[in-house]
Structure 1
Amino acid sequence: MSVDQYSVCPCGSGKKIKFCKCKDSIHEMERVLKMMSGGQMVAALDRLNQVLEEHPDAAWCLAIRGRLLLELKEDEALAENAERFIRLQPSNPLALTQQAAYRGVRGETQAAAESLLQALSESSSGVDTFVLDVASVLSLSFAQAGNLLSSRCFAGLALTAQGYENQRLASMAIEQVNRSREISNMLKDVPTLEVKPKTPAVRERYDEASVLLRANQILLAESKFESLARSNPQEEGVLRGLLVCAIWRGDAPRQSQILRKLSEIETIDIEQRARDLALSVLLTPDQPQISTPCANYTWEIEDLDLLEQELIAHARVVQLPAEVLRMAGNSDDNDVPPRSGFQLLDRELGDLDKLPEVEDAPMVLTNALLFGKQTDRPARLELLTVCQSERDEAIKFFTSLGGVTGEPQATEETIPLMSAANANMPIMRVSGTQAEARKLQTQVANREFVGRVLATPLPLFSDKPIGETVDDDAFTLQRTAIARVIESYDVMYDDPSVLARLRTELKVPELPAIAITNDDQLYTLPVDTLYRVDAESVSKQQLFILLDRARNFHCTPVIRATAQRLLAIDLGEDEAQIKPHAYLSLVDVTSDETKAMELLEEAKTWAKANNVSYAPMLLNECLRRIQAGDSNGFQATLQEIIRDFSDDAAVMGQLQQMLVELGIINPDGSPRNAPGPAAPMNVGSEPPAAAGGAGIWTPDSPTPPQPSGDGSKLWVPGNE
């Protein structure tokens, strides 16, 4: 088949083949494409190299060769190909995209973003799919680097392009961030250009720049915004335009700088200024303004046996189990592992055979590791990540022991506020269930959270503890900003009373509820403001939209409020579609296991009465029971699924996939590991190398729960 001389040349010039410089060699293209479609990638590369020797100006060869090299992960060859392509055609969008690709592979995300923005500026005849492919990869790179707003911009470029089908990477980058409860919801929205200048002359030039921005001509828009900013340095709309440009560029320090400047403009509403300041400190790499000093302390020990016995015998110390100790210390294979490890508590533990009451539950002050004598260093004691508020007590305790003398060597570092304010329980082996342990850990963390926040010194507060500034009007903006930062984390809504106490102590008002008047509000409200939506002001149809958006971003109180209302009202003919969704949504945000199981039972009863499949409820129950270590309940639920849905291939497939993901069975259906004998429950969690314990076991932890019972009662697909 001959090449159509009037089709667009694949070199990226935008010209038809007949009028492109590539026309003398384009007859080779069909042969190369046939090789590629047949999987002969190396042969295709060889042929492209031959064509380039004969026709050094064959840009179409460089365009196709670059795609092949990227797919084959030939990074050095891709860099050489892109440089040659750019020398040949400096403004070719495909050449610039190849440059972006190899810069991204090298981890130079900001430089990669600049190249890709240049490619977008040069894409006058439409954006090539190769540009979108690289934008998707770049979005994932930004997400992995923690530059979440920039990641969202490039992912959005791929997700909104008409006719583009390779959206998997972009979707992955967005979904991982959206559903994380540990990421601030302020970082799940790209700021928009809502504020416009009032002066006609400024407004006209601003409109020109904003049009370019919406057309993805970021570099041209930025040039116009910068020109406006020189003559109007306090113009809010212009600064917000520059902010969006900085996000596209992947320049996190610049983003933070612009937001800090906006927070200092006194003509802007105080709440908006506080929000700008909050976003500013969240966007700064490593968030230094809201991180508190801490340190690791090391003593050289003469008599390690004496110290170890003192720690084992002390009522305020818990020894780390061997399986936990293996995961502590440095991860370098060349380092000698710790000989033993301990957790120092804020009170005496006493003799426990069951979980303590919330008010009596101890907290971990620090984790201590003992290392034996090595060839090149003496025996030593290491305290890990001791915050300033706990430093004096920890140092006093360890220097009071007979085996510890002299001054320790300190290694300074910082820890984010949300980590410093999280109270951790020690690892204790007591009777009970994992669900009860998780509940206690949450209650203890909530008990201590506000006090720990107030006791934490931060650079944002001139290195003062936050609590010392509550009566100082000079820190009103900072206190409001820190309240909005904490409010933006979904984990804070498990117990709303904690946020209420925090606002009271900081003397920061609660933001008013938002009444919904039209559908557009539901789609355009920033994610962190979804929490304030008044569910009673929302229509039936809007309720489902609101629930869907809240689930996408895991906004717990919104999911709870909308699901409860959907279950309480008559939905008419939509009931069979929406009510199961509402039930499962409510179950997902119910932390109390007893209540969750009651809801699932209610959902199954409703589904059976209304001829709706209750398989999703059973699968959800199955997952929760295995996470709670309830072997008997898990077994009963499995048998119910088999009994009622063994003929439904879709349900059985979902069951098998779930059991594979949990590590219970292999992909072929054979059991991975048989459950062992009954084991005591672990409260607390493994301390990482340079941090305190981080809460009790969760489904994401390295060690799965051990179901109780004698022998294996677990059915797995494939067993008789």
Structure 2
Amino acid sequence: MSVDQYSVCPCGSGKKIKFCKCKDSIHEMERVLKMMSGGQMVAALDRLNQVLEEHPDAAWCLAIRGRLLLELKEDQALAENAERFIRLQPSNPLALTQQAAYRGVCGETQSAAESLLQALAESSHGVDTFVLDVASVLSLSFAQAGNLLSSRCFAGLALTAQGYENERLASMAVEQVNRSREISNMLKDVPTLDVKPKTPAVRERYDEASVLLRANQILLAESKFESLARSNPQEEAVLRGLLVCAIWRGDAKRQSQILKKLSEVDTIDADRRARDLALSVLLAPDQPEICTPCSNYTWEIEDLAMLEQELIASSRVVQLPPDVIRMAGNTDENEVPPRSGFQLLDRELTETDKLPAPDVAPLVLTNALLFGKQTDRPARLELLSVCSSELDEAMKFFTAFSAVSGEPKVNEDTIPLMSAASVNMPIMRVAGTQAEARKLQTAVTNREFVRRVLATPLPLFDGKTPGETLEDEAFSLQRTALVRVIESYDVMYDDPAVLDQLRTALKVDALKPIDISDDEQVYSLPVDALYRVNVESATHQQLYILLDRARNFRCTPVQRGTAQRLLSIDLGEDEVRIKPHAYISLIDVTSDEEKAMELLAEAKTWAKANGVSHAPMLLNECVRRVQSGDSEGFQSVVQEIIADFSNDAAVMGQLQQMLVELGLINPDGSPRQGPPQGGAPMGVGSEPPAPPAGGGGGLWTPDSPTPPQTPGEGSKLWVPGS
């Protein structure tokens, strides 16, 4: 097949083949592509190498070879290929993208971002799909590294590119963050350039930079913003421009520094400054400003057996189950696991025949692990993640044993505030149900949270506790920022009264509600601002948009309030379109099982009466029956789906997919395990964002999940086709 000499050369230079150095060897490309389409990757590589020996300046070979090497995970060869490609064509976007890919594979995400930004700057003839492929991978790498705003920027390249169809990775990176209640909602939005300079001369240059920024010419925009910042160091708009550039560069430290500088600009509104400081704290690598000191303590033990028996006999200690011990110690798979593990309680455990009242429920002070003697080290006792507030009591208890003597080895560390402020309940079997255990966990967490926050020393307050700064106006901004950080976690809205108590205790005012004036406002609000929307001020169309955003970002109280509002007003001709969505949204955020079942029954009745499919309600009910351990109810709902929708391939496909995801059947429809078992773990939906380091908490109750059946028992679960 003849090659069109006036088509654009595939090497990425942007030149037509007739005017590119590749013209002498381009006829070989069809042969190479046929090998690749036939799966002959190694043969294709060999042919590319031969062409490069004959035509060292055949850049198209280097372009295709780089993609092959990336796919085959030949990292070192990819680095050499990219280096050769860049020497041949220093401004070629495909060469720069290969360099970015190699750096990303090596974990050098910030350097990879710089190379990819250079590739974007050189992509004057359109962005190649290879650039978007690498941007997608880089977005996932940033997300895994905790650099969430940078991840969102690069994911956006792939998700918004016209005609690009391989956006799965980028979509996954964004959705995982959006759906997590344990990630701050401030980290789910990239800051926008919503402020402009007032001085005409500065504004003109600022507009030039912002145009470049919107065109993804990040490096050029950054140089203009930096020039403006040198002559206008306190200009808010310029600093926010530099912030967006730092996000694109993947430089989390610089992002935090710029935001902290913004929080110190007196001309900015106090609430905005507090939010800037809060975001600065969240973006800083490892979030050191809101981490509190803790330590691990290790003693060498002569008589380990005696110490173990004494701990078992103590009424203030609970022994950890074997399957929890390795997780509690975070032990590497290649290391010898602990011999036994214990939890030290803040009070004696008097009875286990029933769940305790919240005001007398025992709490865990620390986890202790006993390690047996090994070839290269003696037997030892380790206390994990002991904070200053528990240190004295833990030391007093353990050093009272004769086997624990001498000075311990101390390994200093830090844990996040949200872990330090959370309660850790003992892992033990008691009478009661999982629902009762979750209720107890919630009550104890809510009772203790504010007190623990106020008593936790933090670098944000120069090592003081927030409670020690209540009368010091110099720390007013820091206290407000701390409240904004905690408010930004969706899990904190499970009981809004706790946030009210926190604001009152720290002397911080709640932010004002937001009235909606138009549809665009709902789309443009930051995620953390959705919680303040006055639903009474919105039309039903605006409520629908708000509900969709709340579901996408998992803003639980917003989803609940908006759905309730939609169900209570006249939707007119939009009722059939909106009401099913509102019902399902409300049911999804209803934790009370009895109330959820009532809503499902109401939704099914409405759907049948209005000629709307009630399949979504039945599928939702299936999941709830499994989670609550209602095997009989679950099978009844499945039978109802079969009876009503056996001829609907879409519904039956959703049912099968749901059963596979729940682990009840295999993809081929065969049973996988026994009937659905009961109960979620203690504290689901009520625990603070980050679990405490060194082990989890939770009571075992008789309806807790039981182990899977042993092979050969067979399944008691009825599934379609069985």
Please state which band the TM-score falls in when normalised by the shorter chain.
over 0.9
Separation in 1 of the partners of 2:494 and 2:657? Answer: 29
Unmatched 5+ stretches in structure 1: none
Which secondary structure does the structure 2 equivalent of 1:349 belong to?
A: coil
Paired residues of 1:479 and 1:506 also in contact (CA < 8 A) = yes
Write the distance in 2 (CA, Å) between the matches of 1:670 and 1:631.
18
Shift of 1:372: 2.0
State the partner residue of 1:715: 717
Moved more, 44-53 or 630-639: 630-639
Between 87-96 and 572-581, the greater mean CA deviation after superposition: 572-581
CA distance, structure 1, for counterparts of residue 340 and residue 299 of structure 2: 15
State how 1:369-388 maps to structure 2 within 5 Å: 369-388=369-388
Structure 1 position 712, deviation (Å)? 7.9
The reply on whether 1:604 has 2:604 as its aligned counterpart is yes
Task: Tell me which of 684, 690, 694 is aligned to 1:691.
Answer: 694
1:437-459 per-residue CA deviation (whole Å, 9 max, x = no partner) reads 22322222122111111111000
Corresponding residue of 1:314: 314
Q: Give deviations 1:335-373, integer Å, cap 9, x for gaps.
A: 222222111112222212232232232221111111222
1:157 — aligned with what? 157
- TM-score, with normalisation over the residues of structure 2? 0.94
Alpha-carbon contact 1:426-1:684 (below 8 Å) kept: no
Equivalents in 2 of 1:683, 1:194: separation in Å?
43
C-alpha separation in 1, matches of 2:29 and 2:9: 11
Cα deviation, 1:221-275, whole Å, max 9, x if unaligned, reads: 1111111111111111111111111110001111111111111111111111111
Q: Is the 8 A contact 1:426 1:683 kept in 2?
A: no
* Cα offset, 1:217, TM superposition: 0.7
| Whole-angstrom CA distance in 1 between matches of 2:474 and 2:679 | 52
**Secondary structure of residue in 2 paired with 1:23:** helix
Aligned residue number for residue 236 of structure 2: 236
Distance 2:349 2:541 in 1: 53
Letter in 2 for 1:395: M
Give the corresponding residue for 1:5: 5
- Between 1:645-654 and 1:388-397, the stretch displaced more is 645-654
**Structure 2 counterpart of 1:9, one-letter code:** C
Residue aligned with 2:566, SS: helix
Aligned partners of 1:611 and 1:435: how far apart in 2?
36
Aligned to 1:482: 482
Q: After TM superposition, list the pairs within 5 Å mapping 1:476-555 onto structure 2.
A: 476-555=476-555
Q: Which stretch shifts more, 504-513 or 7-16? A: 7-16
Q: How many residues align?
A: 713
Matched, 1:129 2:132: no
Q: Which residue does the alignment assign to 1:664?
A: 664
Question: 2:301·2:404 contact (CA, 8 Å) conserved in 1?
Answer: yes
**Are the equivalent residues in 1 in contact too, given 2:139–2:152 (CA < 8 A)?**
yes
1:604-624 deviation digits (Å, cap 9, x = unpaired): 222222232222222222212
Q: CA deviation at 1:704?
A: 5.3
Deviates more, 1:389-398 or 1:119-128: 389-398
Deviations 1:270-298 (A, max 9, x none): 11111111111111110001000011111
User: Aligned partners of 1:696 and 1:428: how far apart in 2?
Assistant: 5
Letter aligned with residue 719 of structure 2? P
CA distance in 2, matches of 1:502, 1:593: 29
Question: Which residue does 2:148 correspond to in 1?
Answer: 148
2:286 maps to a residue whose letter is: D
Per-residue Cα deviation, 1:164-205 (whole angstroms, up to 9, x for no partner): 111111111111001110100111111111111111111111
Aligned 8 A contact 1:3 1:30 in 2 = no
How many Å apart are 1:716 and its aligned residue?
4.0
Partner residue, 1:594: 594
Shift of 1:705: 5.3
Q: Could you list the runs of 4 or more consecutive aligned residues of structure 1 that deviate by over 4 angstroms after TM superposition?
A: 678-685, 687-690, 694-698, 703-708
8 A contact 1:424–1:684 mirrored in 2: no
1:633 & 1:153 partners in 2: Cα distance? 45
Identity within the alignment, %: 80
In the other structure, the counterpart of 1:213 is: 213
Does the CA-based 8 Å contact 2:96-2:115 persist in structure 1?
yes
The answer as to whether partners of 2:11 and 2:94 remain within 8 angstroms in 1 is yes
Q: How does 1:57-456 map to 2 (within 5 A)?
A: 57-456=57-456
> What one-letter code is carried by the residue in structure 2 that aligns with 1:300?
E
Counterpart CA distance in 1 for 2:137 and 2:714 is 45
Alignment match, 1:559:
559
1:635–1:713: 8 Å Cα contact kept in structure 2? no
Find the counterpart in structure 2 of residue 585 from structure 1: 585
**144-153 or 296-305, which deviates more:** 296-305
Measured in 1, the distance between the counterparts of 2:555 and 2:678 equals: 35
- Do the aligned partners of 1:430 and 1:683 also contact (CA within 8 Å) in 2? no
Report if the CA contact (8 A) 1:325-1:341 is conserved.
yes
1:531 Cα shift?
0.6
Counterpart of 1:25 in structure 2 is: 25
1 CA distance for matches of 2:680 and 2:397?
A: 29
Q: Deviations over 1:87-109 (max 9, x none)?
A: 00001111101111111111110
Per the TM alignment, residue 562 of structure 1 is displaced from its structure 2 partner at its CA by 0.6
User: Conserved in 1, the CA contact under 8 Å of 2:422 and 2:692?
Assistant: no
Query: How much has 1:627 moved relative to structure 2?
Result: 2.0
* Contact 1:328–1:689 (CA under 8 A) maintained in structure 2: no
**In 1, Cα distance between equivalents of 2:298 and 2:311:** 16
- Cα 1:679–1:318 change in 2 (3 A) is farther
- Report the CA distance between 1:304 and its aligned residue: 2.2
Separation of aligned partners in 2, 1:51 and 1:233: 54
Aligned equivalents of 2:262 and 2:349: distance in 1? 50
Equivalent position SS for 2:560: helix
Partner SS for 2:633: helix
Q: Report the residue type matching 2:274 in the other structure.
A: A
Distance 1:314 1:75 in 2: 56
Q: Tell me how far apart the structure 2 counterparts of residues 689 and 455 of structure 1 sit (CA, whole Å).
A: 16
Q: What letter is aligned with 2:409?
A: Q
Deviation at 1:675, TM superposition (A): 5.4
- Give the SS at the match of 2:329: coil
Which amino acid in structure 2 is aligned with residue 94 of structure 1? L
Matched residue SS, 1:464: coil
* Worse-superposed segment, 211-220 or 329-338: 329-338
CA distance in 2, matches of 1:88, 1:42: 24
- Rounded Cα–Cα distance in structure 2 between residues aligned with 1:605 and 1:430: 40
For the structure 1 residues 322 and 124, does the alpha-carbon distance in structure 2 shift closer, same or farther, using more than 3 Å as the test? same
How much has 1:405 moved relative to structure 2?
Answer: 2.4
Counterpart contact for 1:622–1:637, Cα < 8 Å: yes
Query: Structure 1 pair 423/714, CA: closer, same or farther in 2 (3 Å)?
Result: same
Which letter does structure 2 place at the counterpart of 1:673? Q
Match of 2:298, SS state, is strand
Q: Is the 8 A contact 2:628 2:680 kept in 1?
A: no
CA deviation string 1:460-519 (max 9, x = no partner): 001111111111101000000000000000000111001000000000000000001011
TM-score by structure 1 length? 0.95
Aligned equivalents of 2:333 and 2:21: distance in 1? 57
Asked if the contact 1:428/1:683 (under 8 Å) is kept, the reply is no
Contact 1:669 1:716 in 2 (8 A): no
Is the alpha carbon distance of 1:130 and 1:682 closer, same or farther for their aligned partners in structure 2, counting shifts above 3 Å? Answer: closer
Distance in 1 of aligned mates of 2:556 and 2:266 = 34
Cα–Cα, structure 1 residues 601 and 311, in superposed 2: closer, same or farther, change >3 Å?
farther
Per-residue CA distance 1:516-547 (angstroms, 9 max, x = gap): 10111111111111110111111011111100
* 1:166 counterpart SS class: coil
User: Offset of 1:324 from its aligned partner?
Assistant: 2.3
Which residue matches 2:14? 14
CA shift in 2, pair 1:163/1:481, >3 Å: same
Partner Cα distance (1:535, 1:706) in 2: 45
Q: Within 1, Cα distance between the matches of 2:662 and 2:590? A: 21
Q: 1:584: how far off?
A: 1.3
Deviations 1:380-412 (A, max 9, x none): 211111111111121122222343223322111
Query: Contact between 1:318 and 1:426, CA under 8 Å: does it hold in 2?
Result: yes
